[in-house]
Chain A
Amino acid sequence: MELFANQVLAGIATGAIYACMALAVVMIYQAIDHLNFAQGEMAMFSTFVSWQLMQWGVPYWGAFVLTVAFSFAAGIVIERLLFKPLAKAPILTNVAGFIALYAIINSVAGLIWDFTIKQYPTPFGSSPFLGSQLISTHQAGMIGITLLMLALLFFFFRFTRVGLAMRAAASLPESARLVGINTSWMIALGWGMASAIGSIAGMMIAPVVFLEPNMMLGVLIYGFAAAVLGGLTSPFGAVMGGFLVGIFENLVGTYIPGVGNELKLPIALALIIVVLVVKPAGLFGRAIVKRV
């Protein structure tokens, strides 16, 4: 029972990171109807930026805030330079754009910081949380930061005018323009926010997976699985999906013999396929009905 509780809690902790990545993916998907394959690499690059800042002597939380701000700006710049011109391009052009972005960011990070694995600090320490052996303070911190971020996002989208405008632009771009919303900038803002959310996920998971240019590959696939499970049209679903995938991953790895760490990733991929076949809209997503 102790083992079960332990694995569930650990699953919630890593699930928090998947939830962040899934949320970032869903934000961009809502805005432009494409999956951002480079979301993980953007988060990885942000994490390296924070590491570099700390190497230069900036304290952890200073580096954290600067990195989130940098990622927000970088997300907007990427959208303006790369994806705004592709807005009306066919889907494959966009996919090629995402893959190019993935490869470029990955290589540039390798070029600047090389591919050796680096230690990454945690501000929460790694002692047992509240004296309990179940989760560490870092895992509790990850969950706390994620929940805090979700609460802020909820407040932003629910109660601010910009949040309302972003929702309108994502759901009905033409109507949004007809009430005077600059939908193009709302998309850029969505990219900025997705990039900032991803950077937080990167900085939270880096102490666990260690810092290196390929650190986010697995995390992003879990993020995709979470987004698909929760429903690509539902930010809330993406978050729930993240936690569920985190728990699922840990329980399967623990209780099903033969599934070690090596087989965990294929399970995420299998989950994506099963959801797409059985319930394509996901647990919380809306099925898109087109009137003909």
Chain B
Amino acid sequence: MTAMLNVKDLRAYYGQVQALHGLSFSLNEGSLTTLLGANGAGKTTTLRAICNMVRSTGAIEFEGKPIGTRSTENVVRLGIAHVPQGRGTFTNMTVEENLQLGAISRSDKNAIGADIERMYEHFPVLKQRYTQQAGTLSGGEQQMLAVARALMLRPRLMLLDEPSFGLAPLIVRDLFRILGKINREEKVTILVVEQNAQLALELADQAYVIETGRIVMSGNAKDIANNEDVRKSYLGY
């Protein structure tokens, strides 16, 4: 397997404050990887640095191309979809317009309609509400919409920032099941940042653990789940 995303010695800054202290990791094509860590460890910052939404140094390569100096929109246009923390839903637009926006940078306009239909198959609840303002959806529905919007890009890589945040456990299970399906069926490489370590480790095949801006552990998700320290710190048993 070849590495699709290669991150080397990533350092990120908010003003004078350094949030990442030389982070290195890579994602294999087709993998589903999770990045675990406590509050403030730098998980969100890592995702934001990949999309150049925060000042950073280091080398980020996507499919062999350095992307560190590209603007956010140009990183996205390479096929990297980012579902941000808080979902970033266009709340005053309809569900369908949100999906249209996900595909706004694509040039194959004729295929967009069919893709929207495909999203309705993945997420039937969105179909019932397609003319509704996205802001009127429940939290879980909005998260589904955010994932669907990201998929409308036909991404090669999808970055998800705490998709389980604020959702009921049953909805989280449903969402993670769909993510696994997308990873297998649509061949989308996924990097998911999570605080819900247990679920994330069940879903993922690779895992990284990050503490105060550094990777402290990496490997197969099952091995990580069985690791004594991880169990104590993140799984609570």
Q: How far, in Å, is B161 (CB) from chain A's closest CB? A: 11
When chains A and B are docked, how far (Å) is the Cα of A106 from the Cα of B170? 64
A177 at the interface (CB under 8 A from B): yes
Q: Which of B14-22, B88-96, B220-228, B229-237 contacts A (4 or more CB under 8 A)?
A: B88-96
- The number of residues on chain B lying at the interface, defined by a beta carbon within 8 Å of a beta carbon of chain A, is 24
A174 / chain B contacts, CB cutoff of 8 Å: 53, 84, 88
Interface string of A159-170 (1 = CB under 8 A from B): 001001101100
Query: Which among A171, A172, A182 is the interface contact of B73 at CB below 8 angstroms?
Result: A182
B84 near A178 with CB under 8 A, answer yes
B72 at the interface (CB under 8 A from A): yes
A183 / chain B contacts, CB cutoff of 8 Å: 73
Interface string of A164-203 (1 = CB under 8 A from B): 1101100110111111111100000000000000000000
Q: How far, in Å, is B224 (CB) from chain A's closest CB? A: 29
A172 / chain B contacts, CB cutoff of 8 Å: 88, 90
Interface string of A123-165 (1 = CB under 8 A from B): 0000000000000000000000000000000000000010011
A180 near B153 with CB under 8 A, answer yes
Beta-carbon contacts under 8 Å, B96-110 to A:
97, 100-102, 104-105, 109
Given known contacts A164-B97, A167-B93, A168-B93, is B88 in contact with A180 (CB within 8 Å)? no
Beta-carbon contacts under 8 Å, B47-78 to A:
51, 53, 71-73, 76-77
B84 near A164 with CB under 8 A, answer no
B92 / chain A contacts, CB cutoff of 8 Å: 171, 286
Q: How far, in Å, is A127 (CB) from chain B's closest CB? A: 45
Interface string of B113-155 (1 = CB under 8 A from A): 0000000000000000000000000000000000001000100
B156 at the interface (CB under 8 A from A): no
* B77, B104, B105 — most chain A CB neighbours (10 Å): B104
B82 at the interface (CB under 8 A from A): yes
Given known contacts A174-B84, A179-B153, is B101 in contact with A168 (CB within 8 Å)? yes
A179 / chain B contacts, CB cutoff of 8 Å: 76, 101-102, 104-105, 149, 153
Q: How far, in Å, is A287 (CB) from chain B's closest CB? A: 13
A168 / chain B contacts, CB cutoff of 8 Å: 90, 93, 101, 104
B51 / chain A contacts, CB cutoff of 8 Å: 178
B97 near A175 with CB under 8 A, answer no
- The number of residues on chain A lying at the interface, defined by a beta carbon within 8 Å of a beta carbon of chain B, is 18
Beta-carbon contacts under 8 Å, A267-287 to B:
286
> Quick one: closest B residue to A180, CB to CB?
B105
Q: How far, in Å, is B69 (CB) from chain A's closest CB? A: 15
Query: Which among A167, A180, A286 is the interface contact of B77 at CB below 8 angstroms?
Result: A180
A176 / chain B contacts, CB cutoff of 8 Å: 101
Query: Which among B76, B81, B104, B149 is the interface contact of A164 at CB below 8 angstroms?
Result: B104
Given known contacts A167-B93, A172-B90, is B72 in contact with A178 (CB within 8 Å)? yes
Beta-carbon contacts under 8 Å, A245-270 to B:
none
> Quick one: closest A residue to B79, CB to CB?
A180
A165 near B101 with CB under 8 A, answer yes
Task: Spell out A's residues near B (CB within 8 Å).
Answer: 161, 164-165, 167-168, 171-172, 174-183, 286
- 18 A-B pairs within 8 Å (CB atoms) are namely A164-B97, A164-B104, A165-B101, A167-B93, A168-B90, A174-B84, A174-B88, A175-B90, A176-B101, A178-B76, A178-B81, A178-B82, A179-B76, A179-B101, A179-B104, A180-B76, A180-B77, A183-B73
What 4 additional pairs, Cβ within 8 angstroms, besides A179-B76, A286-B92?
Answer: A175-B89, A179-B102, A180-B76, A181-B105
Task: Spell out B's residues near A (CB within 8 Å).
Answer: 51, 53, 71-73, 76-77, 81-82, 84, 88-90, 92-93, 97, 100-102, 104-105, 109, 149, 153
